[in-house]
Amino acid sequence: MSDQKTTQNILPRIVLDGPSALTLFRDRDDRAASVHEFVYEPENDFVPEYLSDEDVAATLGDTNVFGHRTLDRLLQHGDLRIGIPSFSRSRAQGVARCVTRSRELKLVPYGDLGLRPPADDSPLYLLVPNAESKRRVRNVSQRACTTRVTPDSFKRLGDVVLVPKPEFAYVLLAHHLSFVELIVVGMEMCGRYRLTGAPSNQLLVSSGAIYDCDQLMTPTSMHDYANQNSSFPGAALALRTCKYLVPNSSSPMETIVYLLLCLPRSMGGYGLPKPQLNAKRVVNTYAGSITFSRTLIPDLYWPSARLDMEYDSDEFHSDAESLAKGARRALALRAMHVDVISMTRDIVYDESAFHAAARLVSSRLGIRFRPFSESALKKRRELRELLLWQN
């Protein structure tokens, strides 16, 4: 009896769905960015890096999300330190039925885990093993999940929470977002920034962003995971988005400029070739004497045309020092025979000005510019509305 009680105390009781997982990733990085020294001490307001290689994966494995083999696997991990060899499937489902009970959710140490508690403006999204496990709980959305996933799909967060790893969270988000919205979120997860303050039910809306974050995933890792879990709902849609994902976007506006330029016309973009985003280039001696650096990092770079589009944000390019650095950077790129086109927020929001910039890029790339049909023009305006209204 004591063994059973111990087991129920350590087994995960809630499993995050995609929206709450992404919200957690954002909040974790936001809190980590506020800590100057990245050394974990209990008194610091810092969420431990639970996605590191040192952490033990809570694998939900060979049968379904809460199959009986899941418990066998959990019990095999030395960190759990219990000696019960196995449990029946009925016992596993019994544990699962506790997942969304209100009294259990009230016991979750949200503050310690860096997890947002259920709220009117930001619900908690959870996975449950079957329809019978759902419970009516205020501000909690539950989705039944019975399809098998690979054993590396989850990580433990504390003793009661399972978090889908970023690639699985992206597959789960396919249930909640449109195709283009999923690409926008995918660019963030493959990028170096995070949106902050976004409620879990409006993931493209934010009160700001933080920068210089680690990538949560790459287009390649996402492609591989979706292929390995092709039968899981949402995997096929996530796989389709991979062809449009480019790694290393450094800001939400870089993502918007890239998507407006490069998504197909059928989706509202200009259909231009994909650039490299923020890829380091070694400078020559002449350019190095201008920037006093051995490398430059163009924002959107098309190697075949030696063309760079620089996004000059109001946030980082408004003071005299930043303007001087930007001028040196542009001069150094031209010294390397790179054609530089400047892009600003004002140009992005002005549809006519952005259209002219897109035509210029098309010309520099040697691509014949085709007029937009009425249907393509409508799609273009719909895409602009989707991408720009929340920024």
* Structure confidence by residue, pLDDT tens digits, 274-283: 999 998 876 7
Residue 220 neighbours by CB under 8 Å, 6+ apart: none
User: Tokens standing for 186?
Assistant: 């995918």
Q: Judge whether 328 and 291 are in contact, CB under 8 Å.
A: yes
Residue 330 neighbours by CB under 8 Å, 6+ apart: 310, 340, 342
**pLDDT value at 52 more than 50:** no
Which is it for the CA torsion 347, 348, 354, 360, positive or negative? positive
Give residue 12's pLDDT: 54
What is the mean predicted confidence (pLDDT) over 69-86? 33
Give residue 193's pLDDT: 96
> Using one digit for the tens of pLDDT, what is the confidence trace for 220-272?
999 999 999 999 999 999 999 999 999 999 999 999 999 999 999 999 999 99
Give residue 288's pLDDT: 62
Among 77-86, 114-123, 377-386, the range scoring the smallest mean pLDDT is 77-86
DSSP code per residue over 144-177? E--S---TTSEEEETTTEEEE-HHHHHHHHTTTS
pTM above 0.85, yes or no: no
> Using one digit for the tens of pLDDT, what is the confidence trace for 2-12?
344 433 444 45
> Using one digit for the tens of pLDDT, what is the confidence trace for 80-103?
322 222 222 333 333 344 456 777
Neighbours of 113 (CB within 10 A): 19
What is the mean predicted confidence (pLDDT) over 51-75? 35
Phi then psi for residue 60, to 5 deg, are: -110, 95
Which residue in 101, 99, 108 sits closest to 138, CA to CA? 101
The residues facing 16 across adjacent strands are 126
Residues in the chain: 391
